[in-house]
Structure 1
Amino acid sequence: MLVLEDVNVYYGAIHALKGISLEVNQGEIVTLIGSNGAGKSTSLKTISGLLRPKTGRITFKGADLATIAPQSIVAQGISQVPEGRRVFANMTVIENLELGAYLRKDKAGIKDDMKKVYELFPRLLERKSQLAGTLSGGEQQMLAMGRALMSKPQLLLLDEPSMGLAPILVNQIFSIIKEINAIGTTILLVEQNAHMALSIANRAYVLETGKIVLSGDAKELAASEEVRKAYLGG
């Protein structure tokens, strides 16, 4: 579904992604793990069109993404939940969700998807008229995910969904990620909580200083001594 081939990205003189190649197949949950500054978020921003690769190819269902605008990438079926949630604080929950569907014209479909978001996140239904800035961190994460789902993505990019959340909420968010995948959305997940990410993913890539150093079946990587020592605290 998604293929990155030898992608190089720079921030000015800094070489942030060094020849990254990866793929995500339809129906999978694939995770990128690695320490801070490894290039995980940069990878997602490059797929979304927020950053441009200097060299390399990015294709989604065979179409080249490297030169098209971010809103066109959303229209193709890729949506990103950004790190730090980035909800529109002075707008209500329902207004944030409606903004997620801004490229869509199918009113009946939008209404159906709003209902599905409320089924996934009942808390958002309770808070639908509340300003997003007054929600708790966990509720804002739910809202950011719901907003991304309103664009009806085929591929959902999730950037650090567990950041800053209490352990009980982390479990809840990860169980919802599995549910979103089970109803047909492919997921590329960037996550510092490597243990949780590997527990729900099919496959994983390990990034270090802008390079992929390991890849494979998520359960096998979780059992590997190298990954355990570096990312799983043991």
Structure 2
Amino acid sequence: MLTVENLNVHYGAIHALKGISLHVEQGEIVTLIGANGAGKSTLLKTVSGLLKPSGGKIVFENQSIGGKAAQSIVKAGLSHCPEGRRVFANMTVEENLMLGAYLRKDRQGIKDDLDDVYKRFGRLLERKNQQAGTLSGGEQQMLAMGRALMARPKLLLLDEPSMGLAPLLVKEIFNIVQEINKTGTTVLLVEQNAHMALSIAHRAYVIETGQIVLSGSASELADSEEVQKAYLGG
């Protein structure tokens, strides 16, 4: 579904991604783990069109999307749920969700998807007329995920969904990620909580200083001594 080949990204003189290659098959949860500043968020931003690559290829469903405008990438079926939630604080929960469907014209489909989001995230329904800025961190994360789902993506890019959340909420968010995947959405997950990420993913890549250093099934990486030492506190 998604193929990234020899991807290079520069921030001015800084070479942030150095020849990264990876792939995501339809129906998978694939996770990227790595330390802060390793290039995980940069990779997602480049795939979703927020950053321009300086070299390499990004192909989504046989369509080259490297360097294309973000809105055309959303239209193609790829949604990005960014690090730090980025909800529109002065707009209501429902207004934030409707922005996720901005490019869609199918009124009934939008209404059905809004109902689905409210079913999946009951707390958002209770707070639908509340300003997004007044929500707790966990609720804002649910809102950011719900908004991304309103674009009806085939592939969801999720950046650090557990950041700053209490352990119980982290579990809830990861259960929801699994549910989203089971209902047919492919997921590329960037997550610092390597233990949780590997527990729900099918495959994983380890990224260090802008390069992929390890890849394999999630269970293989969870059992790897190297990964345990570096990321699982083993």
Q: 2:205·2:215 contact (CA, 8 Å) conserved in 1?
A: yes
Give the aligned partner of residue 94 of structure 1.
Answer: 94
Distance apart, 1:107 and its partner CA: 0.2
Give the aligned partner of residue 7 of structure 1.
Answer: 7
Stretches of 4+ aligned residues off by more than 3 angstroms: none
The answer to whether residue 192 in structure 2 is matched with residue 192 in structure 1 is yes
Give the aligned partner of residue 144 of structure 2.
Answer: 144
The residue type paired with residue 102 of structure 1 is: Y
Structure 2 distance, partners of 1:53, 1:20, is 11
Distance apart, 1:52 and its partner CA: 1.0
Q: What secondary structure, in the 3-state scheme, does the structure 2 residue paired with 1:169 have? A: helix
Give the aligned partner of residue 232 of structure 2.
Answer: 232
Q: 2:3·2:59 contact (CA, 8 Å) conserved in 1?
A: yes
Give me the TM-score of the superposition, normalised by structure 2: 1.00
Give me the TM-score of the superposition, normalised by structure 1: 1.00
Structure 2 distance, partners of 1:115, 1:185, is 17
Structure 1 distance, partners of 2:227, 2:202, is 16
Q: For each residue in 1:53-84, what CA deviation from the matched residue of structure 2 results, as whole angstroms up to 9, or x when unmatched? A: 11100000010001321000000000000000
Give the aligned partner of residue 45 of structure 1.
Answer: 45
Q: For each residue in 1:96-128, what CA deviation from the matched residue of structure 2 results, as whole angstroms up to 9, or x when unmatched? A: 000000000000000000011011100000000
Gaps of 5+ in 1: none
Q: For each residue in 1:162-201, what CA deviation from the matched residue of structure 2 results, as whole angstroms up to 9, or x when unmatched? A: 0000000000000000000000000000000000000000
Structure 1 distance, partners of 2:132, 2:31, is 28
User: Once the two structures are aligned, what percentage of the paired residues are identical?
Assistant: 74
Structure 1 distance, partners of 2:53, 2:22, is 14
Q: Size of the alignment, in residue pairs?
A: 234
Give the aligned partner of residue 211 of structure 1.
Answer: 211
Gaps of 5+ in 2: none
Q: What secondary structure, in the 3-state scheme, does the structure 1 residue paired with 2:30 have? A: strand
Q: What secondary structure, in the 3-state scheme, does the structure 1 residue paired with 2:16 have? A: strand
Give the aligned partner of residue 223 of structure 2.
Answer: 223
Q: 2:161·2:191 contact (CA, 8 Å) conserved in 1?
A: yes
Give the aligned partner of residue 163 of structure 2.
Answer: 163
Aligned pairs for 1:20-169 (under 5 A) are: 20-169=20-169
Q: 2:51·2:67 contact (CA, 8 Å) conserved in 1?
A: no
